[in-house]
Structure 1
Amino acid sequence: MPVLFFDIGATLADGRLEADGSLTLLPRPRVVAVLDSLREVPKGIISNPGTSEGAAASAAAALHEAFPGRFPDDGLVHWGPKNSRRLFEEAVASAAGARAGAVEADECVFVGEDSQERAFAREAGMRTAAHPVFTLAAMENRPAFWTRIELPEGQELPGLAAVANEAEVVPVHVASERLVLAMATTRGVHTLERAGFTVDMRGHVEDTAAFLVRDNRPLQVADTFADTPSATRYAAETSLRARAVFGFVADELAGTATPPVASLGPAPGGVYLAAPAGTPVEDVHLPGAKPGHTERLLPDPALLAPRDEVRPAGLTAMAGDGLPSTRTIAVVGAAVTPDVLRGHVARISGIEPLVAGRPLKVRSRDASAEDNGRVVEALARRFQDLGLTVRLHPFRWRGHQLFNVEAEHRVTGADSTVLITAHLDSTAANGEFFDADGEPRLYDPAVDPAPGADDDGSGTAGVMAAAECLKVLLEDGGAPTRNVRFVLFNAEEQALVGSKFYARAAAAAGDRIAGVFQMDMIAGRQQGTTPTVEIHSGSSVPGPVVSASDALGGRVARTVPVIDPEVTVQQVTGADDPAVGRSDHASFHERGWAAVAVSEDLFSTPDGAPGNGTRQYHTPGDTLHDQDHSTDFAATVARSVTATALTLAGL
């Protein structure tokens, strides 16, 4: 009988650090059923609880509370870093005690979502599974495959969900009502085919991770397709774009990925690809492409949940014109000011000390930089000082322990929650760097500055100011009818991975979200240009999320001229929105929640005219002192978003 070892975070459960420092684990979908189906099989843990004092004991307590009686053998529980094969070899050695005899490494199975950890486990001789659903398959030495599932006419996503959730199938991306990318075994594929779905099996999952890489640049289609039906032309364009994007990414990663990256076929606006563990897909930038063209895809059975059942009923229509009250406008105007925003940006971008009275100045908030964690701690403390309930949501990326920051004001009896969000990390990957000999070199996040004053220090400052504004309203007797939650996502620059983890966990926890307002780059305005706010609600996700997000965007669009009548508003909707899938709001679209991204004039107009936002995108020049950084403009955007969001929350 094999011995099973499971990772905890993201694989078995979503973790969150509560305000009192305790750890709560919430089981992931289908996990408990898998564990119970293998009740007689010895089961252990291989997990990294972190390095803080008492972390292992806290993790053990949370594990037994979340999964009572399911991991009874402490001898099979291993805590520590998984940055080599060492911990996995220790686990294999411990299996002999559970079996009362010698155990070969390939009789042990490691189940973990992280592809790099699976690679280390395989180096130690273990079998691996990329999701608990595939545990039995790994025990029987049956592989999982990347799989494209097509829904023919007459088949709908709820029907696919009903079949997939009872089979060895785990979706990773819903491309449309007709296409889903998933992981599946041959047994799962046969189940899908018997139910009438068309399945295209690609390569083995093994130690790979899936990405969607988009390309918004114009595509030249051969004249031979000029007179063909639109569906034929669309198919040709889709195939050509997928091949072009994959070819570029594969060339850029040549010599980096072993084995090389593999195409999983066309995706919305680009290509799906599978990358071996450790391959830096997020670091590949298509020349001339717009921000956020790479999206990390996470496995989740709940991705196929009906898109019209995850939000409170009636929110799509949003009664009334949605305009903020005179009182709310006045309080927002007094609390969300250029000086307030400037102060927040100065502290998190390195102009001023991160904490008043202390010497540390932030050099970079890059997900790989040491200052990232320090900024997380400082922002969490500020939220706590405002009287909000603060939680940190941990996740791992490339071996780094990162945190999303959540701060909430809860309302008794609230039907749902309003989210005001931004991303706290930065990057300077587009900058020019030189070695000691003056030769060009690649960006090194460990040593190079990435102030990110606009991207997304400005949005982070907007969220902090909105929280401060809520405190003023509450102290003045304001009483929201919905919960108000402020969330700062980490590793947005790394294929949206922080918000992906957060939204996936929120869906699993049964959160009811009325709307998400994401501020991503709100201070960029070139001098002498017309101040222009972009409101992006476009989504490629099918279902009511489309109209709900458009309604949310419409509320912001109506509020902007109330805040500042001199500002031009560009409300962009539909699948052709250039920001589709390119900021953290997309992670909520994926779950069927209304969400918008509000930004400076970042994208070019349909006729090709460039935006008038920052020219220091992803460079060390993105500072508070940059000539394109306008805290006055940022205040207009932040006030508009804050007033709209708090009005939706009932203030």
Structure 2
Amino acid sequence: MTTLFFDIGATLADGQVEADGSWLLRPRPRVLQVLDAFAGEPKGVISNPGAEQDAVAHITQALHEAFPDRFTDDRLIHFGPKTSRAIFDDAVASSGGAADDCVFVGEDHDERAFARTAGMRVAPHPVFTRAAIESRPVFWTRIDVPEGGSLSLLESVAGGTEVVPVHVASPRLVLAMATALGVETLQQAGFTTDVRGQVEDTAAFLIRDDRSVPVPEAFAGASDESRTAAERAMRAAAAFCFASGELTGYPRQISSLGPAPGGVYVAAPTGVPIEEVHTQGAKPGHTERLLPDPALLSRPGETQAEGFAPALPAGFDGTGNGLPSPETLAAVRATVTPEVLRTHVARISGVEPLVPGDPLKVRSRDAGHADNGLVVDALVRHFEDLGLVVRRHAFRWRGRQLFNVEAEHRVEGADSAVLITGHLDSTAQSGHFVDANGDPRPYDPQADPAPGADDDGSGTAAVMAAAECLHALVAEGRAPTRHVRFVLFNAEEQALVGSKRYARAAAAADDRIAGVFQMDMIAGLQDGSPPAVEIHAGSSVPGPVAAASDALGDLVARTVPAITSGFEIQQLTGPGDPALGRSDHASFHERGWAAIAVSENLFGPDGGPATGTRQYHTPGDTLLDEDHDTRYAATIACSVTATALTFAGL
């Protein structure tokens, strides 16, 4: 008999830590069906709940509440680090059988590699549990949707077989995991498949290449479709060759999964730091981690996005002029100030102690640095002091327990939530570092400073100030009509993984999100440059989300002149938006929700020069940098906060 062991976080369930320290687990799509299909097989858990006090007790209780009568043998429940094969060896021993008679089901490719070294069979998703029992491989597979077909049809077919989507490139192309049985089912339903390598202990990424691609003269007279296909293939080849060249020296190499929007899909083996590869002139967000999700094709946010844009002209503030009310503008100006932003940035970037009265100053918020967790704790305390309902959304990255921070003001009877967001982590990956001999060395995320005052300390500070503004408005007796949620994502610099996990969990929970206002780098302004704000609404996802996101962007664009004069407003929409898919707002586009990212002049649209920070991803991104302008940041933060709170009904 085969013994099945499951990871909890992101595999069995999405997990969050409640304000009282208890865990809440929500089963992932198709998981309950899989567990019930193997009701007669012994089932256990191999998971790491973290080192927090009473974490094991809390996660055990949550496990039995979410999956009653599914995990009944305590001998098969194993909690602890999964950074070696040790815990997997213990699990095999507890089964009473041979290692080959044990299956580990886990999304994390590093953990699957350790399980494999312990002799276990592995599955990258619960859908493939039977395939692992029968020693059938799972493949990366490109699925072409034929003319007359649809993503909804693909969803219905994939949902009944061994297929799990990981990325929707267009209405005609989906990247997925699939077994041979799944591929056969797709083909019988009329879909064309292109089977690539085995999944095993690899993870999928999309690497974008911002370099220009000259199309050969031979295509001068070709159709636009042929030229586009040639450029796509050449860009994919260039991106893959560069990335693979940068990652030589590792025991295993990345493999190409074919052209992707703006670049190439790759499968990266365990231990290969694909997130650290930066092509020359790479723009922010050029690498995206792709997560398996049986519900990826459903896009629950589209229902909310439909009818979104036509409803807005009826009057944004009740007067029909599309502007926040004078009362809201006054409250925002009083609370979202340069001084407030400076204070918050100083604490989370290491200029001042993280917590007043405590001498500790942080060196970094990198996801790989110990100070990341300290900053999370400080943010949680700050939001709790404002009377908000605070949750930490847990996920693992490279063996580390990380958290997104969510703080919510709930409104009885509200039909949806408005999200004001940023990312709390930082990096100094592009900095220049030397060893004791003065020779160049790689960036060490566990030790090197990464203050990230602009990226995205400025956005984090703006979210904190927005929460303080709402607190002041509520104290005055005003109340929004929608829930207002302040969310700070972790590991954005690691291919958007924090917001990807958050949005995936929100979709599975049937969350209702009216709109997302993301602030990512809002303080960078080179001396003498005219102030400008970029409003990014472009989405690679077709349909209602595109129009709804454009409408959100319009609201911010209308508000900026009410905050200040002399600002250049750059609204960037459609497939030409240079930030398309590149910041945390894209994780919500993927699920069909309206979302925008607001930033400094980061991309230099229309061929003009970028006037944002010159210390992007370096240790020089500090509050004291000459390009860091808190007054400029406050104008952008005020504009977004006033728009978002008005959109929430204030």
Does TM, normalized by the shorter one, top 0.5? yes
Match of 2:628 in 1: 629
> Does the residue aligned with 1:246 lie in a helix, a strand or coil?
helix
The Cα of 1:606 is off from its aligned counterpart by 2.6
Match of 2:216 in 1: 222
> Does the residue aligned with 1:645 lie in a helix, a strand or coil?
helix
Match of 2:330 in 1: 330
Match of 1:43 in 2: 43
Paired with 1:602 and 1:332, the residues of 2 have a C-alpha distance of: 25
Paired with 2:377 and 2:577, the residues of 1 have a C-alpha distance of: 35
Paired with 2:231 and 2:324, the residues of 1 have a C-alpha distance of: 44
Match of 2:319 in 1: none
Match of 1:413 in 2: 413
- 1:501-520 correspondence runs (5 A): 501-520=501-520
Paired with 2:492 and 2:50, the residues of 1 have a C-alpha distance of: 22
> Does the residue aligned with 1:182 lie in a helix, a strand or coil?
strand
Match of 1:85 in 2: 85
Paired with 1:335 and 1:634, the residues of 2 have a C-alpha distance of: 13
- 1:453-472 correspondence runs (5 A): 453-472=453-472
- Contact conserved, 1:614 with 1:629, CA < 8 A, in 2? yes
Aligned sequence identity (%): 68
Match of 1:194 in 2: 188
The aligned length equals 643
1:78 alignment partner AA: H
The Cα of 1:576 is off from its aligned counterpart by 1.6
- CA displacement, residues 119-155 of structure 1 (integer Å, 9 cap, x when unaligned): 0000000000000000001001111100000001000
The Cα of 1:53 is off from its aligned counterpart by 2.4
The Cα of 1:104 is off from its aligned counterpart by 1.5
Paired with 2:137 and 2:89, the residues of 1 have a C-alpha distance of: 22
Match of 2:239 in 1: 245
The Cα of 1:243 is off from its aligned counterpart by 0.3
2:290 alignment partner AA: L
Kindly indicate whether residue 290 of structure 2 is the aligned counterpart of residue 297 of structure 1: yes
The Cα of 1:310 is off from its aligned counterpart by 4.6
Root mean square deviation, CA, Å? 0.9
Q: 2:114 aligns with which of 109, 114, 120?
A: 120
Paired with 2:479 and 2:51, the residues of 1 have a C-alpha distance of: 41
Paired with 2:600 and 2:301, the residues of 1 have a C-alpha distance of: 31
Match of 1:594 in 2: 594
Q: TM-score, normalised by structure 1?
A: 0.98
Paired with 1:194 and 1:308, the residues of 2 have a C-alpha distance of: 30
- 1:59-70 correspondence runs (5 A): 59-70=59-70
Q: 1:147 aligns with which of 126, 141, 150?
A: 141
Paired with 2:30 and 2:542, the residues of 1 have a C-alpha distance of: 24
> Does the residue aligned with 1:236 lie in a helix, a strand or coil?
helix
Match of 2:554 in 1: 554
Q: Which consecutive segments of 4 or more residues in structure 1 shift more than 3 A? A: 306-310
- CA displacement, residues 12-46 of structure 1 (integer Å, 9 cap, x when unaligned): 00000001110000000000000001111110000
Comparing 445-454 with 376-385, which one deviates more in the overlay?
Answer: 445-454
Paired with 1:260 and 1:106, the residues of 2 have a C-alpha distance of: 27
Paired with 2:519 and 2:353, the residues of 1 have a C-alpha distance of: 24
Match of 2:53 in 1: 53
Paired with 2:627 and 2:302, the residues of 1 have a C-alpha distance of: 43
Paired with 2:391 and 2:308, the residues of 1 have a C-alpha distance of: 27
Structure 2 gaps, min length 5: 317-321
- 1:128-277 correspondence runs (5 A): 128-256=122-250, 258-277=251-270
- Contact conserved, 2:416 with 2:483, CA < 8 A, in 1? yes
Paired with 2:223 and 2:590, the residues of 1 have a C-alpha distance of: 30
- 1:344-359 correspondence runs (5 A): 344-359=344-359
> Does the residue aligned with 1:274 lie in a helix, a strand or coil?
strand
Paired with 2:91 and 2:293, the residues of 1 have a C-alpha distance of: 27
The Cα of 1:57 is off from its aligned counterpart by 1.3
Comparing 540-549 with 381-390, which one deviates more in the overlay?
Answer: 540-549
- Contact conserved, 2:302 with 2:593, CA < 8 A, in 1? no
Structure 1 residues 512 and 308: CA distance shift in structure 2, 3 A: closer
> Does the residue aligned with 1:202 lie in a helix, a strand or coil?
strand
Match of 1:610 in 2: 609
Match of 1:100 in 2: none
The Cα of 1:308 is off from its aligned counterpart by 6.1
1:276 alignment partner AA: P
The Cα of 1:610 is off from its aligned counterpart by 1.6
Comparing 275-284 with 301-310, which one deviates more in the overlay?
Answer: 301-310
Structure 1 gaps, min length 5: 97-102
Comparing 346-355 with 320-329, which one deviates more in the overlay?
Answer: 320-329
- Contact conserved, 1:4 with 1:108, CA < 8 A, in 2? yes
Paired with 1:469 and 1:317, the residues of 2 have a C-alpha distance of: 29
Paired with 1:216 and 1:473, the residues of 2 have a C-alpha distance of: 43
1:19 alignment partner AA: A
- CA displacement, residues 64-90 of structure 1 (integer Å, 9 cap, x when unaligned): 000000001111111110010011011
Paired with 2:76 and 2:207, the residues of 1 have a C-alpha distance of: 39
Q: TM-score, normalised by structure 2?
A: 0.98
Comparing 320-329 with 523-532, which one deviates more in the overlay?
Answer: 320-329
Match of 2:567 in 1: 567
- Contact conserved, 2:301 with 2:593, CA < 8 A, in 1? no
